[in-house]
Amino acid sequence: MYGAVMSADPQQVIEKIDSDELIKVTLDLANIDSPTGSEGPVADYVYDWLIREGFDARKVALYPDRPNVLATIPGESSGRSLCFNSHMDTTVHKDEWWTTRHAADPIFHAGWREDDVLVGNGVCNCKGPMATWLLAAKAIKDSGAKLKGDLLLMAVVGEIGLEPVDEFQPPDYIAKEAGTRYAITHGGVTDYALVSEGTDFGIVGVEAGKAFFKITVFGSDLTIYTPYIERPTPIEESPNAIVRMSKLIERIETWAYEYEQQNRYECTSGTVVPKVNFGAIRGGVPQKITKTVQQCAIYLDVRITPKQEPLDIREDLRRIMRDTGLDGEVELYVYRPGFEVDEKKGAPLREAIAHAHSSVVGGELQLGPVSTSSMWRDLNCFNEMRIPSYTYGPGASVGGGVFRMPIQNLIAGAQLYVHTALNLCNQERS
């Protein structure tokens, strides 16, 4: 082990964590609605809180109304430095009813307490985990504990991202470029990073990448007025591109299961099962539906492992198009590779997390659920930049529909991060 060198008794620091304040900060953050692109008010809250608590905070922004917020507890000598990272954006806009029928439901835009549980999408993803390290950092500072290396606090925008495509272009639509990646390339560099998100207190050191495809199917060169449509006609010969697309969707759905089975990726830092999702479909216009449609497009989210190449997937999709006898095109419009932590370089952080886990949760540190290593998280940005990083935090991922966070999990998270920082940041930097 790299050593649990502490300049202060962790328990004395933990006693500085005010659970009522932890709950308040979590709910304050959760009740500031911040779907991707509208993180400014949350950033202002985090910045103001840090300044009020005596931190030297700063805003680092690609877009002035969407700043990342950084603050540092400076180390006193040549110790290892650590970044705590969480994102401020949430997943659902109130008007996003074509993807979420009840998009304006308070569960997606607010937070509240029910007995010993905090409820809300934002509570779990990712404002509760963020509050845990904010309170952990405050406890370290208020206790007077000394760190040899820097502790960097990083609250970021755009982790969820809105990928530009078709008429949906920047600056209104932008993905990962404004968040963690921008913060790192503009001074947010440490020896290690701990991305605080829900992993059920399991550790994750690998994440999936993603390849997004726009697949267009062409119909007949003639548009046919509804009274002139002839049936029965084989689907692939229909003049209507929407009808033809149904055959391609069925074939891709079969391929998607084969794809995730064939490309499952296992390593000591986690398992990636790359999934496929039909995210959108476009064809025709609802105000004019009296003629067959000449083209229809689907938008496909294909997750990839750190070992895959996106052009191989594009060739698979082109082959499927040919095999179904359809005329069309396949466009790759997003490619974001996945990354795996350098386990040798990352060992000090992993062992510090394991030591904290044993002290607070008890037992041996386990890998996070496969779903948490099969998604995209900002872990990828750090590991791509050669900053060894792990994801580890309280609660489950909201991707599975869980919007409840036990308060005790938040308290445990704050305690875990105190242990981790005191351990790692007091090790000598080799």
The residues carrying an active-site annotation are: 89, 159
Per-residue three-class SS string for 132-173: HHHHHHHHHHHHCCCCCCCEEEEEECCCCCCCCECCECCCCC
What is d(CA 338, CA 270) in angstroms, rounded to the nearest whole number? Answer: 13
Half-sphere exposure of 145 toward its Cβ, with a 13 Å CA cutoff? 32
Beta bridge partners of 298: 215, 281
Q: Are 293 and 284 in contact (CB under 8 A)?
A: yes
The rounded distance, in Å, linking the Cα atoms of 218 and 295 is 4
**β-strand partners of 154:** 70, 85
List the structure tokens of 333: 């419009």
Q: Which amino acid, residue 1?
A: M
Rounded to whole angstroms, what are the CA distances from 191 to 158, 185, 306, 327, 418? Answer: 23, 14, 22, 51, 17
